[in-house]
């Protein structure tokens, strides 16, 4: 691979080298502004720069908020959303199976 080829390779998340998702967990979230519990997803990520998490809050249909922790602290919501979409696990089938008993 030439130097020109290595420069043209894009990383899934600009600014992070070898970024990869570790876990994706469903979480309950409370905010000061709301009296109800919201649901969200916490994506734990590791890279050569360190580890961090991106929390995506499902506020309302079609409305999502992002919050960064660790190496993602201080990132803009737009940049967090792009990183979340680039790194979240994608599967074609459900991660659980119902047992057929009887």
pLDDT of residue 27: 94
The token pair at 36 is 């109800």
Full-model pTM? 0.74
Is there a domain that residue 49 lies in?
yes
Residue 83, number of CB atoms within 10 A of its CB = 24
Residue 79 to residue 66: CA distance in whole angstroms: 9
Is there a domain that residue 73 lies in?
yes
Cβ contact 21:95 at 8 Å: no
Is there a domain that residue 6 lies in?
no
Is there a domain that residue 4 lies in?
no
Cβ contact 51:45 at 8 Å: yes
Is there a domain that residue 34 lies in?
yes
At residue 2, does pLDDT exceed 50?
Answer: no
Instruction: Give pLDDT tens digits for 52-64.
Output: 999 999 887 888 9
Is there a domain that residue 51 lies in?
yes
Domain that holds residue 78: 12-87
Three-state secondary-structure class, residue 27: strand
pLDDT of residue 7: 43
Instruction: Give pLDDT tens digits for 5-32.
Output: 444 445 778 889 999 999 999 999 888 8
Is there a domain that residue 37 lies in?
yes
pLDDT of residue 98: 61
Number of domains in the chain: 1
């Amino acid at each position: 691979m030439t130097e020109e080829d290595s420069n043209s390779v894009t990383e899934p998340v600009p600014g992070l080298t070898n970024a990869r998702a570790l876990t994706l967990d469903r979480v309950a979230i409370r905010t000061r502004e709301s009296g109800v519990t919201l649901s969200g997803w916490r994506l734990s990520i590791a890279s050569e720069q360190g580890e961090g998490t991106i929390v995506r809050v499902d506020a309302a249909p079609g409305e999502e908020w992002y919050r960064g922790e660790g190496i993602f602290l201080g990132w803009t919501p737009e940049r967090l959303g792009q990183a979340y979409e680039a790194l979240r696990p994608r599967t074609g089938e459900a991660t659980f199976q119902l047992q057929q008993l009887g």
